[in-house]
Structure 1
Amino acid sequence: MKLSKGANAPVPTSLLAVVVSWRSEHVVDAHALLLDGSGTVRSDRDLVFYNAPRHVSQAVTLDQEPAPRTARLSVSLPRTEADVDRIVLAGSVDGGTFGDITGLTVMVDAVDGAVATFEIEDTDAVPALMFGEFYRRDGRWRFRAVGQGWSSGLAGLVTEFGVRVNDPAEPARTTHPTDPFRVRGSARPSPAQDRRSTRPLTGAHPDPASARHERHDGGRHIPHGDDSAADPSPGSTGPARVGRAHRPNATTAEDTVAHRFGPHDEADGGRDRRTAADAHARPDDTAPGRPHTDLLDRTAPRTHPNRPIDLTRHAPETTPSAPPPPDPERADWHSDPEDPRRMRWWDGTEWTSAGYPRAQPSDRHCARCGDPRRRKLFGGLVPCHKCEQEIEEYLTHWHTRAWRVLTTHGPRGPEWAALWAALRYQRIDADAGRLALREVALSYVERLVTFTFADGEVQHAELELFEQAVTELALDGPLIEDLRRRMHRGRTLARLRAGDLPVIRTPGLHLDPDEKVHIDLPATHVRQLARGPKLTEGRLIGSTKKLRFVGEGTGTEMPWSRIVSVHAEQATVVIAATSARGGATFAVADPDYVAAALEGALRVAKRLVLTPGQRDTRSIPQEVKAEVWQRDGGKCVECGDGHYLEFDHVIPLSRGGATSAANLQILCRSCNRAKGARI
């Protein structure tokens, strides 16, 4: 659905992808803020941006390496916490404004395609822009197109929603470059932060003493965004706008295993975001050079000092040098060189800080997360329900990404390798990925075969590509075997047409000294007479010199110099000659093979073998194939079948039809044979 500014539309409560695209050479950073019922963030952790690309609840994730001229956010509405009423989507530009950006579009995609599209036009010259927002209405989610600019930039935009931002004039307070929320050592809140109250647990009544300090001034309620809402104490150096504090002892998704990062989330480092209390409880994990754990301390109280956010972009933190694994070109999990009790991620070029504790081999615990597995009523163990849900959710969007890679690059190259590296990073078995890809893999192979036969020629590289795709996708079954036979037969016919002909021994036939026979098979000579067709049984013999038909009491010879063309038509082979009465029609058991062999012999005799790079008139450009396939939906336009598809000329080539998208259609094999040369 295409939305205008201010319009809204319902969206499914599922995993959604928000893709921001543009046409100019600028770089746009995407951000998200999770707001509660008061329209502000619950804590500074509710800001998702380049230094913190993943929310602790896994509800919003920022893609760290999107496609060029795009920014991408993954929004999981089922994972969104109950006290989050809105998810604001925004963006910022460094070294420019949105007024310089052309073709700015925001698209919300679900599993089955786009559900909302917002084209932002006539944007003001502002460095930050609110694209839109997801909000709850009557128990369902909707998306509203906003398009509002902020002249004060990203800092002003996030401050408007309650995020505390570092003053650039003050020294940076962030101690960890890749995580602005991380506290190390015995960091304690400043006096101004001590004066800020903490938010009570959900459903609990706030303490009257603390309620007097929360966004109030002397008993007067200060609305959010009011510039007068400064720190009431004299000499306070805190920022004018105060964000909400963290909730102590609150049970959130942060208290669960935090290792659910993708291979391109190295900006977040795949690290756990532990609190100051965690740092005191486990000081050994924050020692310099020691990999950070991904398991949060579930017993320590969840208290977070309210430090301002540092919006300065930081480079990923470098890890200590270590020897590469045995296969350095493959991104995968390996035993940590510094701690054999842990597994560490090697991204194909260097060690990253992402890791997890090595699980002990046991059937009673999940091999992926290490949690205990429940026993079945009649024996055995049930699968890990949590991991099953995570894998199913991840494979949903991985499936879409895989189809995009298949149709653009095929099952090869760095894009394909990165696709499976992402699966390994999530510790999902490759067989589960192949099972999820089986339907799209079959569709890709069918598409590959259809595109190959569009020209009537199967080259050696195309046959190798087919075999490589079948092996890489681990496909088998009757359909694949039939497609393989079709490809090998097509390659054989292509070699025959190119002049790669077999040589047959014919002892009972008188030949010239340098003459060789290429075909010798039973045939029926069909002659159309006034009283009807006359059929003569015999043998059809093709040699390097001429074409012979030898029948009972009759025989004909046609030198290659008199033959113009050879083609298969229905169950016959039609020979066109220079004279009207010099042609002939032969009914044979395999007309395609015979026509290809005779065409190859004709080309060799007349020196008509195609030179490299020469295009046959039957060839269809690749972009035309893709256009017709997309237009017809990859199915037969007559019966809707999706197997054994062929490109058909609506007006046949023999009747002057053009090789263009307007004159091409997709038909299945049976519909194409039934149509024949009819218009």
Structure 2
Amino acid sequence: MKLTKGGHAPVPTSLLTVVLSWQSEHEVDAHALLLSEAGQVRSDRDFVFFNAPRHVSQAVTLDLEPGPGTARLSVSLPRTESEVSRIVLTGSVEGGSFTEVPGLVLTVFDHNRPVAWFEIADSDSVQAMMFGEFYRRDGQWRFRAIGQGWTSGLAGIVTEFGVQVDEPETQTRTPDQDQRTSDRGQRTSDRDQRTPDRRQRTSDRDQLAPDRGQRTPDQEQRSSGRDEPAPDRDERTPDQGQRTPVRGQRTPESGQRGPRRGFSLERQRPEMPPPPPPNPERADWHPDPEQAGRLRWWDGSEWTAAMRPQLPVDARHCPRCGRPRRWRLFGAPAPCRECAGEIDDYLLAWRGRVERVLRTVGTQGEDWDALWTALRYQQIDVTRALESLRPLAHDHVERLVAFAFADGAIEQPEMEAFDRAVGAFGLSGPLIEDLRRRMQRGRMLTRLRSGEMPVLPATGLHLDPEEQLHLDVPAIHIRQLARGPKLTEGRLICSNKKLRFTGSDTGAEMLWTRVVSVTSEGGRVLVAATSARGGAVFEVADPDHVAATMEGALRVAKRLALTPGRRDTRSIPQEVKAQVWQRDGGKCVECGDSHYLEFDHIIPLSRGGATSAANLQILCRACNRAKGARI
């Protein structure tokens, strides 16, 4: 509903949004005063403005970051206390007057639906204005459009409704201030000329003073000075200023509350925090931006109260405590004894924390980052900490590799966990490189089994339409005859349509629809088919690679889909791996070696063995190959 000046309309008793909009570059502030039946605020807390943006009852809230050219207030009428009968909406402009603010419109919204709006077109040349008010009538809330300017500014409006405002400490008098209006009382420029009546009243008060008790020296001094000219109002002492009540201030003589301290209407600018360090994501000691020669701890989000002196960086002093270091006869200076003992004690407890984190979340997450943050806080060299973790780091990497190969497949997250652990501990050497090659080969075989196979050029081969070549390797076809096995040399060709073998005197072809499974066992590739005579055995240079490629082609041809989270019957849950590893102590149960460890089925899967903790053991690679498929 569009309102004119003095118009009013009912509003719903709900959460309302009051938006003041204008079309200029001026800054307009919105405020609200919660008034009682007497038309006064109950306390200064009933004034909501930029220094107090939220009422204690949350009935009125000021948006401190509105959009450009707008000011916004949230008015919750259901939360308004019963003692509040009116909510007056006011505003003020800085650096000008409201006549310089065109397009001033006040709109009341209910759930993004305007229920009342008021276009303030005839603004006066004032810096403060009362736009409108919410008021109660017959148990309902209504809104009235006012649009009244206030010549005395924001301080005059709030003082009118009982808010106590602090006067600035220093004031510059202007000719307008010297010419006071009649409604504030006419003051004469000379107070030295007192009338006889006033002198008589002064003497009467002096005669009544003994009835009020013993007079203090201050009172005697003030009484003796009454015949002297009174100082100007601007030059009054604090005691004399308190005797003159201001608007909205109750005096002790009336038997009510005495003068209360007001608050300033000057906008409070928040203190700017010190700038962050160059690398704000990293918690570390940095030069204190507020004081030179001091280090301050940055916790990754803000500056803390922890501080250290910034020590000189030279070889003659300890970089941690600043004590002078002893020099050896030859070579570098000796380490600081005091700091060496403290660091050893700290690292002893710190290694236990590292071991617990590695067994739970590994080398990632907040717990892992907190370990190295603690080292930086203690100013301990990372290289020394890594040296103390060297045996633990090798055991952790071996554990990752053994867990990854437990189900015969290396997924990308497992590969990333291995690389992350090696990088975190700074590991290198022949053992680490051999483990890396194993992980990379396992990842490659896993991708082949899942159907990510290369496409090779069909040189010298005649393929069917839409047939793609995936494998072409030398092979020996092994056939079991009555007089013994017959070996035929030739080429094993695998495509997305079929499996072929071409030899010097024979050849074979098998469609993927007839193939049941492809496995690698004993250095040979075994192909099982739907008929007893349809299978085949091939001897190749790399049986694992050939079997993985053929298995991937088989799955693509038959469109086989594996259950999410489980690959085949060899899949071992993580909790079972951890239980077996803990039980066997992370070592081979046969020879006690702690390198190249693998999970082995005591009763092989081919003989009906279960994938359980009771049927699993840890063997090194050599012992596992020697055991084979035996029980």
Is 1:547 matched with 2:547?
no
What's the counterpart of residue 496 of structure 1?
448
Report the TM-score, using the length of structure 1 for normalisation.
Answer: 0.52
| Superimposed CA distance per residue, residues 198-225 of structure 1 (whole angstroms, 9 cap, x where no aligned partner) | xxxxxxxxxxxxxxxxxxxxxxxxxxxx
What's the counterpart of residue 559 of structure 1?
511
The one of 543, 550, 553 aligned to 1:601: 553
What's the counterpart of residue 659 of structure 1?
611
| Superimposed CA distance per residue, residues 328-350 of structure 1 (whole angstroms, 9 cap, x where no aligned partner) | 33221111233222212222233
On the 8 A contact 1:635/1:645 being kept in 2, the answer is: yes
What's the counterpart of residue 575 of structure 2?
623
**For 1:272-671, what aligned pairs fall within 5 Å after superposition?**
322-378=274-330, 380-610=332-562, 612-671=564-623
Secondary structure at the aligned position of 1:425 is classed as helix
**For 1:179-328, what aligned pairs fall within 5 Å after superposition?**
322-328=274-280
What's the counterpart of residue 121 of structure 2?
none
CA distance in 1, matches of 2:344, 2:523: 51
CA distance in 1, matches of 2:409, 2:540: 22
Cα offset, 1:526, TM superposition? 1.4
CA distance in 1, matches of 2:332, 2:409: 55
Q: Which amino acid aligns with 2:623?
A: C
Cα offset, 1:614, TM superposition? 4.8
| Superimposed CA distance per residue, residues 222-259 of structure 1 (whole angstroms, 9 cap, x where no aligned partner) | xxxxxxxxxxxxxxxxxxxxxxxxxxxxxxxxxxxxxx
Cα offset, 1:359, TM superposition? 1.0
Query: Where in structure 1 do 4 or more consecutive aligned residues deviate above 6 Å?
Result: none
What's the counterpart of residue 138 of structure 2?
none
Report the TM-score, using the length of structure 2 for normalisation.
Answer: 0.55
CA distance in 2, matches of 1:602, 1:580: 19
Q: Which amino acid aligns with 1:566?
A: V
| Superimposed CA distance per residue, residues 587-606 of structure 1 (whole angstroms, 9 cap, x where no aligned partner) | 11101000100111111111
Cα offset, 1:358, TM superposition? 1.3
Secondary structure at the aligned position of 2:445 is classed as helix
CA distance in 2, matches of 1:618, 1:380: 56
| Superimposed CA distance per residue, residues 111-164 of structure 1 (whole angstroms, 9 cap, x where no aligned partner) | xxxxxxxxxxxxxxxxxxxxxxxxxxxxxxxxxxxxxxxxxxxxxxxxxxxxxx
Q: Which amino acid aligns with 1:334?
A: H
Q: Which amino acid aligns with 2:474?
A: P
CA distance in 1, matches of 2:611, 2:563: 21
Q: Which amino acid aligns with 1:473?
A: F
Q: Which amino acid aligns with 2:320?
A: R
CA distance in 2, matches of 1:411, 1:478: 22
Cα offset, 1:530, TM superposition? 3.3
Cα offset, 1:474, TM superposition? 1.4
Larger mean CA deviation between 663-672 and 459-468 belongs to 459-468
Find the structure with the greater CA-based Rg: 2
Cα offset, 1:380, TM superposition? 4.6
CA distance in 1, matches of 2:351, 2:331: 34
| Superimposed CA distance per residue, residues 630-678 of structure 1 (whole angstroms, 9 cap, x where no aligned partner) | 1111111111111111111111111111111011111111111111111
Q: Which amino acid aligns with 2:388?
A: A
CA distance in 2, matches of 1:380, 1:432: 17
Secondary structure at the aligned position of 2:532 is classed as coil
Cα offset, 1:611, TM superposition? 5.6
CA distance in 1, matches of 2:542, 2:315: 58
CA distance in 2, matches of 1:505, 1:379: 63
Cα offset, 1:436, TM superposition? 1.4
Q: Which amino acid aligns with 1:482?
A: D
Is 1:672 matched with 2:624?
yes
Cα offset, 1:356, TM superposition? 2.1
In structure 2, relative to structure 1, the CA distance for the partners of 1:356 and 1:627 (3 Å cut) is same
Q: Which amino acid aligns with 2:410?
A: V
Q: Which amino acid aligns with 1:361?
A: V
CA distance in 1, matches of 2:313, 2:338: 19
Secondary structure at the aligned position of 2:327 is classed as coil
What's the counterpart of residue 107 of structure 1?
none
| Superimposed CA distance per residue, residues 550-593 of structure 1 (whole angstroms, 9 cap, x where no aligned partner) | 11111111111111111000110011111111111111110100
In structure 2, relative to structure 1, the CA distance for the partners of 1:392 and 1:548 (3 Å cut) is same
Q: Which amino acid aligns with 1:416?
A: W
**For 1:65-104, what aligned pairs fall within 5 Å after superposition?**
none
* Percent identity for Structure 1 against Structure 2: 67
CA distance in 1, matches of 2:317, 2:539: 69
On the 8 A contact 1:525/1:537 being kept in 2, the answer is: yes
Secondary structure at the aligned position of 1:581 is classed as helix
Q: Which amino acid aligns with 2:499?
A: L
| Superimposed CA distance per residue, residues 258-310 of structure 1 (whole angstroms, 9 cap, x where no aligned partner) | xxxxxxxxxxxxxxxxxxxxxxxxxxxxxxxxxxxxxxxxxxxxxxxxxxxxx
Cα offset, 1:321, TM superposition? 5.7
Cα offset, 1:531, TM superposition? 3.0
Secondary structure at the aligned position of 1:383 is classed as coil
CA distance in 1, matches of 2:464, 2:423: 48
What's the counterpart of residue 196 of structure 1?
none
CA distance in 2, matches of 1:379, 1:588: 59
CA distance in 1, matches of 2:377, 2:565: 44
CA distance in 2, matches of 1:666, 1:379: 48
On the 8 A contact 1:537/1:551 being kept in 2, the answer is: yes
For structure 2, list consecutive stretches of 5 or more residues without a partner in the other structure. Answer: 1-271
In structure 2, relative to structure 1, the CA distance for the partners of 1:615 and 1:573 (3 Å cut) is closer
CA distance in 2, matches of 1:534, 1:615: 36
Cα offset, 1:360, TM superposition? 1.2
What's the counterpart of residue 62 of structure 1?
none
CA distance in 1, matches of 2:273, 2:402: 50
In structure 2, relative to structure 1, the CA distance for the partners of 1:376 and 1:565 (3 Å cut) is same
For structure 1, list consecutive stretches of 5 or more residues without a partner in the other structure. Answer: 1-319
CA distance in 1, matches of 2:413, 2:562: 17
CA distance in 1, matches of 2:606, 2:400: 26
CA distance in 1, matches of 2:291, 2:583: 55
CA distance in 1, matches of 2:302, 2:497: 66
Cα offset, 1:612, TM superposition? 4.2
On the 8 A contact 1:395/1:433 being kept in 2, the answer is: yes
Secondary structure at the aligned position of 2:376 is classed as helix
Q: Which amino acid aligns with 1:560?
A: W
Q: Which amino acid aligns with 2:518?
A: V
CA distance in 1, matches of 2:565, 2:401: 22
In structure 2, relative to structure 1, the CA distance for the partners of 1:362 and 1:514 (3 Å cut) is closer
On the 8 A contact 1:498/1:609 being kept in 2, the answer is: no
